[in-house]
């Protein structure tokens, strides 16, 4: 009976080590966020960038991609609202993505997220393996 208890305690210690802490979760999601931000900025720039446009008062949509840290290590990726003018870049991105009457959307945002998801998971797993030993 004592052997079973020892085995169970050993197993529990191994499992606890694999459960990431809040700081480890934050590091993992940071890696995934970097992938998504880069892909979202690239997609926005390639589909909707206007070269030569003056951006001294309002950032271009592609330059407004950012993230917000949430409680528990999670993060939200999106577009900033312009502080000076109050222009909501997220609303503009949604209109360009989804379209409106007479103007079909091009799904650049949806495509960027879809293409980023597997790459973001790989980046997060690499950080997880490095921080926790990855189940070894």
CA proximity to 23, closest of 66, 67, 69: 69
Distance from C-alpha of 118 to C-alpha of 112, rounded to nearest angstrom:
11
* Confidence (pLDDT) at 1: 58
Give the predicted TM-score (pTM) of the model: 0.80
For the chain, 136 residues long, give each residue's pLDDT as a single digit of tens.
Answer: 569 989 999 888 888 877 888 888 899 999 999 999 999 999 999 998 877 777 777 788 888 899 988 887 788 999 988 776 778 899 999 999 999 999 999 999 999 999 999 999 999 999 999 988 775 5
Strand partners of residue 78: 66
Residue 64's nearest CA partner among 26, 16, 96 is 96
Q: Residue 69 has what pLDDT?
A: 87
Token pair of 26 as six digits: 């934050």
């Amino acid at each position: 009976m004592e052997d079973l208890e020892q085995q169970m305690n050993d197993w529990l210690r191994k499992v606890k080590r694999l459960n990431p802490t809040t700081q480890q979760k934050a590091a993992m999601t940071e890696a995934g966020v970097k992938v998504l931000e880069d892909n979202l900025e690239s997609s926005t720039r390639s589909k909707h960038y206007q070269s030569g446009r003056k951006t001294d008062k309002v950032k271009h949509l592609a330059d407004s991609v950012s993230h917000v840290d949430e409680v528990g290590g999670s993060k939200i990726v999106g577009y900033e609202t312009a502080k000076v003018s109050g222009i909501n870049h997220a609303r503009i991105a949604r209109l360009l993505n989804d379209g409106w009457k007479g103007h079909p959307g091009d799904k650049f945002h949806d495509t960027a997220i879809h293409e980023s998801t597997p790459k973001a998971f790989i980046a997060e797993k690499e950080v997880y393996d490095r921080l926790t030993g990855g189940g070894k």
